[in-house]
A and B are shown apart, each in its own frame.
Chain A
Amino acid sequence: MKWMGVVCCCLMILVLTAFPLRAQQSPSSTAPPASTATPEVPQAIAEKLNQLEQKATAAQSSADNAWMLVSAALVLLMTGPGLALFYGGLVRQKNVLAIMMQSFALMALITVLWALVGYSLCFSGSGPVIGNFEHAFLRGVGALPNPDYAGTIPQTTYMIYQLMFAIITPALITGATAERMKFSGTVLFMTLWFLVVYAPMAHMVWGKGGFLNASQGGRFPTLDFAGGTVVHITSGVSALVCALYLGKRTGYPKQPMPPHSLVLSIIGACLLWVGWFGFNAGSALASNSLASSAFVATHFGAAAAAMGWSLAEWIKNGRASALGAISGAVAGLVAITPAAGFVGPMPALAIGFIAGVFCYWMVTRFKAMFGYDDALDAFGVHGAGGTIGALLTGVFAQAAFNPIFGQGKAVGGLDGRWGQVGNQLVGVLIAWCIALVGTIVPLKLVDLLTGLRVHEEHEIAGLDISLHGEEGYNLES
């Protein structure tokens, strides 16, 4: 019975990957055609054509901007309350506020850092590794589009959209350090991490001149549509480093520490799923067919992964759990993040399914083998999911969905360009290295300055009361 399920999964993957070879999706929207008035056409008509063209462009811009503002809001929703609830429900009751506070505080902290220097470090200049201070204090960021990045929306919109990514990335790390990290340490560490890991990685993958930038001629073009490397691998690997540095929670693994409210976690996971449409489909930076394609891929990835994880659980434990299903969905969303705007719906199902099963294994077997206390599985889901997703992107990407290297040029494995998997590997390795180095140094520094781990009595009493002087639930009163 057990291995019949495994055989079925393999067959399903084979079948699903056969379909993309027949993809008939139209390519992403192209720029409107240039005015073609010939000298014979009267002046009046030429003018009229020009006006109509401008109106069409303005209408597209208007649609793009509306979609992008909504997407920005959706991505913020992923952090607050999506991630806050997801993580909140997974910790013990005495620590629920502390974990939610970390996400919430980052919403504030990263915003200020972004406004002052963050946006500039990520998206100005054309250096290979990091930006410059051209847009510090958001100088020059206004209603005019920045043609290097999103030519149809105000740069303000682009800036605020990218900010939401910068917020959720460090928030993901808090999952590994849950229930034992000082709040002061968190604030200081995340500030440093943002500057040393996120900004360079974001610039390298998405910034003009970036070393790994696929759409703007980077040296090792890594396909990362919405941040599989920038967001998930960096945060996931950092999470592992943090978990190892901080050490295990007192009582782990003998003492039972089950989630205090899977209800909250389920609500959070659903908010993450919906918010992810802003994360992935919004990364099309326009309201066009690419956004639609990415939207669908995102959704399919989540669905297949939830099923993959649940199936793996059913085979292993004899039943599917709620925690497993939602963890699977999140793993699928992570894995599809780099791929969303490059792959078709069938490969999206395949990527999701593979990620669901792989992350299940990472979180149960791999973690048990090495015994580290990645409390909420930030590494197991985001680090591992991002890694497998980034590699599979190289396999399944097709020009038919996004001709990112130019019209008619092969993109990924299904187009015959298998070397792209190698490029993906380079991007993945660089993300891993930056995360490893960029985490250990700030950790050590912050440990010296404020300390990272709470005192044992505080950990046992609970972080809510110890760090924040509050209780999450005062149900008796």
Chain B
Amino acid sequence: MMKIEAIIQPSRFDSVKEALLEIGIEGMTVTEVRGHGRQKGHTEVYRGREYTVDLLPKIKLEMVLADALVNRAVEAILKSAKTGKIGDGKIFLSRIEEAIRIRNEERGEGAL
């Protein structure tokens, strides 16, 4: 079992969700986050005072998948989240030790 953590542009979220649905992935956790890598922010001016806003809004997607699905999921995210510009985001993969469904206490890949 692998966890995919993808930080993407908010404007790409809908396409990524659809692309994942197309390959059969329905379960995910979505959070609105702020951050930046090398992307520059923007400047806001309030009554003559300038503020550089360098924490930019992003969407973080988290999903735990069976090993067999991971590569297809990563491909789908890459294809749909990419705009080619700085600020597109990153995907992180990590190994998951155990998954448990709360409803019936099922464990392992069957719980995903």
A interface, CB within 8 angstroms of B: 253, 256, 258-259, 317, 321, 323-324, 327, 360, 363-365, 367-368, 377
Contact = CB atoms under 8 A, between A and B. Distances in A.
Interface stretch (B10-18, B42-50, B62-70, B71-79): B42-50
Contact of B48 (A256, A258, A259, A365): A365
Nearest to A256: B51
B46 A363 contact: no
Contacts of A256: 51-53
Output the residue of B44, B46, B53 with the most chain A CB within 10 A.
B46
Contact of A364 (B44, B48, B51): B48
Contacts of B47: 323-324, 327, 363-364, 377
Contact of A363 (B45, B48, B51, B52): B48
Contacts of A258: 44, 46, 51
B45 A321 contact: yes
Interface of B: 44-49, 51-53
Given A256-B52, A259-B46, A377-B47, 8 more contacts: A256-B51, A258-B44, A258-B46, A317-B45, A321-B46, A323-B47, A363-B47, A367-B48
A368 B50 CA distance: 12
A364 B46 CA distance: 9
A253 B52 CA distance: 13
Nearest to A327: B47
Contacts of A363: 47-48
A92 to B, nearest CB: 12
The 3 A-B residue pairs whose C-beta atoms are closest, nearest first, are: A364-B48, A256-B51, A363-B47
Contacts, number: 24
Contacts of A365: 48
Contacts of A368: 48
A219 to B, nearest CB: 39
A95 B44 CA distance: 21
15 contacts: A256-B52, A256-B53, A258-B44, A258-B46, A259-B46, A317-B45, A321-B45, A321-B46, A323-B47, A327-B47, A363-B47, A363-B48, A364-B48, A365-B48, A367-B48
A122 to B, nearest CB: 34
A365 B47 CA distance: 10
B45 to A, nearest CB: 6
Nearest to B48: A364
A86 to B, nearest CB: 13
Contact of A253 (B44, B49, B53): B49
Contacts of B49: 253
A297 to B, nearest CB: 26
B46 A323 contact: yes
A365 B49 CA distance: 10
Output the residue of A258, A317, A368, A377 with the most chain B CB within 10 A.
A258
B28 to A, nearest CB: 21
Contacts of A364: 47-48
A327 B48 CA distance: 12
Contacts of A327: 47
A258 B47 CA distance: 10
Nearest to B43: A317
Nearest to A368: B48
Contacts of A360: 48
Nearest to B52: A256
Nearest to B53: A256
A377 B52 CA distance: 21
A367 B46 CA distance: 13
B57 to A, nearest CB: 15
B102 to A, nearest CB: 22
Contacts of B45: 317, 321
B18 to A, nearest CB: 29
Contacts of A367: 48
B85 to A, nearest CB: 24
B49 to A, nearest CB: 7
A305 B64 CA distance: 58
Contacts of A253: 49
A129 to B, nearest CB: 37
A363 B52 CA distance: 20
A268 B83 CA distance: 41
A363 B48 CA distance: 7
Contacts of B51: 256, 258
B41 to A, nearest CB: 11
A324 B49 CA distance: 12
Contacts of A317: 45
A323 B45 CA distance: 9
B4 to A, nearest CB: 26
Contacts of B46: 258-259, 321, 323
A414 to B, nearest CB: 33
B25 to A, nearest CB: 28
A367 B44 CA distance: 18
Contacts of A321: 45-46
Contacts of B44: 258
Contacts of A377: 47
Output the residue of B47, B48, B51, B53 with the most chain A CB within 10 A.
B47
B68 to A, nearest CB: 37
A363 B46 CA distance: 10
A256 B48 CA distance: 13
A368 B44 CA distance: 17
